[in-house]
Amino acid sequence: MELSEEIRDKYQPVIGLEIHAQMLTKTKAYSNDKNEYGATPNSNVSPITLGHPGTLPRMNSKTIDYAIKMGLACGSDIAPEQHFARKNYFYPDLPKGYQITQDTTPICTGGAIVVKDADGNDKSIAVTRIHMEEDAGKSIHDIDPFNTLIDLNRAGVPLIEIVSEPDIRTSQEAYNYVTEVRKLVRYLEICDGNMEEGSLRCDANISVMLKGAKEYGVRVEVKNMNSIRNVQRAIEHEITRLIIATENGEPLFQETRNFDALKGTTTAMRSKEAANDYRFFPEPDLQPIRVTQEKIANLKAEMPPLPAALFAKYTKELGLSEYDGNLLTDQKEIALYFEDIIKHTKNYKAAVNWLMGDIKSYLNTNAVGISEFPISAENIAGLIALIDDGKISNNLASQKVFPAMLTQNDTALNVSEQNDWIQDSDDGAILEIIKSVFEENPAEYERFKAGEQRLMGFLMGKVMQKSKGKADPKSASKLINEFIKF
């Protein structure tokens, strides 16, 4: 598909995203079946999941807590009373013939997620609503060449659906939005955010209109993107396709399309006219839920610091760069470790450098997370203080002290003292060493004194050797130059 810059520039893309996040609960939304990815197919399927006559669903209260936490993170209003509804449709992977969802009373309404726009400025994407529902089973088309296989383990797994307003304008903003949502659910520990395994799924609604137009164009909805990059690719593809269709005067109609990651294209799945009428009605087997202000306050108190607040703190209060702010807040564990270091040091930049340098490379080399990192945040702060006090050099810290701390589980000071690594900044001691070096090398002493500056390297080498690397190189060279004047 070819589209000239000029024509593309006539149009304004409009994008709204629906994100489904599987909740990290131990059991399913309305039964005691385990919520477990990768279990033997159809092993976590009780009569309740199957919706057999006589069974009754029971609400998993963790799902409610998690949905409220997400709402609080987005600044949404939490509905004090909510009802469940049945969404009816037939599909082989939906054993009950309906999903229990929330229709007219979603648990959260309003709020926003702040992302960076194309110019790097903050932009609020409004959240329409967040509601609770349950997942369907999984139809597997690619194991048996002739049949579709069905695994019902996923049926009844709790989901929240986060619906955005059509506030997104570019595929990059959409990319940033999904990245931010994934970061949030991971910080809150309510979803693992794994798009490859489908625990976070994104449907993209896309339309185009002439720039300056008042009314949005007809939207298409694209499904089945298994990575954030593919969400962006699918949107780019649809923008181009919709503009070309509009330019050619082709009629557009609301439809659902499927993204093919290999080809980078979409194909029609179903049109909205042919879509099911879900015949929503109130779920008769579940009581309405009431959420008290006290419960909301308790959940709020449990919440970790959120990435946006941490980013603002690092860049505005601590004076770190946006680049550092992003690195630090990308993963909660890293951000919290940094928070621990800076409880004990004011040298924030050094803390970032250690965390993103030597510590990250230890984690990468050993394929472990920061929770398994052997040095405490307090001891890292101690290491920074030792350098700042001129007791050890940066090089020595990185090459000797840090590796020793990894195995010794002791403070930087103790480790350095035990190994005799504390630098002599004491000029007297260095002078003694310089004197003995000159005594032992009288010929070099004479030549150096006569002006042969290139012997400095040789003399410094001797001084460092005698001091076992502890002499501070700067003061040693200064003292050598002073020594020969007398």
Q: What are the residues binding Mg ion (CB under 5 A)?
A: 18
Between 173 and 324, name the residue whose CB sits nearer to ligand ADP: 173
Q: Does 164 bind ligand ADP (CB under 6 A)?
A: yes
Give the separation between CA 180 and CA 178, rounded to whole angstroms. 5
**Nearest-approach distance from CB 209 to ligand ADP, in angstroms:** 8
Between 33 and 221, name the residue whose CB sits nearer to ligand ADP: 221
Q: What DSSP string runs through 62-120?
A: HHHHHHHHHHHHHTPEEPSEE--EEEE---TT-TTSEEEE-SSS-SEE--EEEEE-TTS
From the list 11, 14, 63, 351, which residue makes contact with ligand ADP (rule: CB under 6 A)? 14
- Choose the one of ligand ADP, Mg ion, none that binds residue 459, judging by a C-beta under 5 to 8 angstroms depending on kind: none
Q: Which stretch binds ligand ADP (CB under 6 A): 192-200, 203-211, 311-319, 364-372?
A: 203-211
Which parts of 95-183 are beta strand (E)? 98-101, 108-109, 112-116, 122-134, 138-140, 149-151, 158-164
By CB under 6 A, the residues from 17 to 56 that bind ligand ADP are 17-18
Residue with tokens 């209109």: 209
Instruction: Phi first, then psi: give them for residue 388, nearest 5 degrees.
Output: -65, -30
Residue with tokens 């839920």: 289
To 10 degrees, what angle do helices 228-247 and 171-188 make?
A: 150
Q: Does 75 bind ligand ADP (CB under 6 A)?
A: no
Q: Which stretch binds ligand ADP (CB under 6 A): 159-167, 317-325, 401-409, 465-473?
A: 159-167
Q: Does 112 bind ligand ADP (CB under 6 A)?
A: no
Contact status, residue 413 vs residue 378, Cβ threshold 8 Å: no
Q: Does 351 bind ligand ADP (CB under 6 A)?
A: no
Residue ranges in 98-250 assigned as alpha helix (H): 171-188, 228-247
Between 135 and 151, name the residue whose CB sits nearer to ligand ADP: 135
- Choose the one of Mg ion, ligand ADP, none that binds residue 15, judging by a C-beta under 5 to 8 angstroms depending on kind: ligand ADP
Q: Does 15 bind ligand ADP (CB under 6 A)?
A: yes
Using CB atoms within 10 Å of the CB of residue 439, give its burial: 0 to 12 exposed, 13 to 18 middle, 19+ buried. Answer: exposed
Number of residues assigned to the chain:
486
Between 135 and 324, name the residue whose CB sits nearer to ligand ADP: 135
Quote the DSSP letter at residue 210. Answer: E
- Choose the one of Mg ion, ligand ADP, none that binds residue 14, judging by a C-beta under 5 to 8 angstroms depending on kind: ligand ADP
Give the separation between CA 131 and CA 104, rounded to whole angstroms. 10
- Choose the one of Mg ion, ligand ADP, none that binds residue 164, judging by a C-beta under 5 to 8 angstroms depending on kind: ligand ADP
- Choose the one of ligand ADP, Mg ion, none that binds residue 206, judging by a C-beta under 5 to 8 angstroms depending on kind: ligand ADP
**Nearest-approach distance from CB 274 to Mg ion, in angstroms:** 15
Structural tokens at position 249: 């005067």
What are residue 128's DSSP bridge partners?
none
Between 131 and 154, name the residue whose CB sits nearer to ligand ADP: 131
Q: Does 207 bind ligand ADP (CB under 6 A)?
A: yes
Q: What DSSP string runs through 352-405?
A: HHHIIIIIHHHHHHHT--GGG-SS-HHHHHHHHHHHHTTSS-HHHIIIIIHHHH
Binding residues for ligand ADP, rule CB under 6 A, total 15
From the list 3, 59, 163, 336, which residue makes contact with ligand ADP (rule: CB under 6 A)? 163
**Nearest-approach distance from CB 216 to ligand ADP, in angstroms:** 3
Q: Which stretch binds ligand ADP (CB under 6 A): 111-119, 163-171, 230-238, 406-414?
A: 163-171
Between 71 and 325, name the residue whose CB sits nearer to ligand ADP: 71
Between 279 and 478, name the residue whose CB sits nearer to ligand ADP: 279
**Nearest-approach distance from CB 134 to ligand ADP, in angstroms:** 16
Q: Does 216 bind ligand ADP (CB under 6 A)?
A: yes
Give the separation between CA 84 and CA 388, rounded to whole angstroms. 60
Residue 86 CB: number of other CB atoms within 10 A?
20
Q: Does 165 bind ligand ADP (CB under 6 A)?
A: yes
Between 199 and 205, name the residue whose CB sits nearer to ligand ADP: 205
To 10 degrees, what angle do helices 427-440 and 442-449 make?
A: 110
Pairing of strands 112-116, 98-101: unpaired
Between 270 and 343, name the residue whose CB sits nearer to ligand ADP: 270
**Nearest-approach distance from CB 274 to ligand ADP, in angstroms:** 13
Q: Does 219 bind ligand ADP (CB under 6 A)?
A: yes
Pairing of strands 220-225, 255-260: parallel
Quote the DSSP letter at residue 181. Answer: H
Site of interaction with ligand ADP (CB under 6 A) = 14-18, 163-166, 205-207, 216, 219, 221
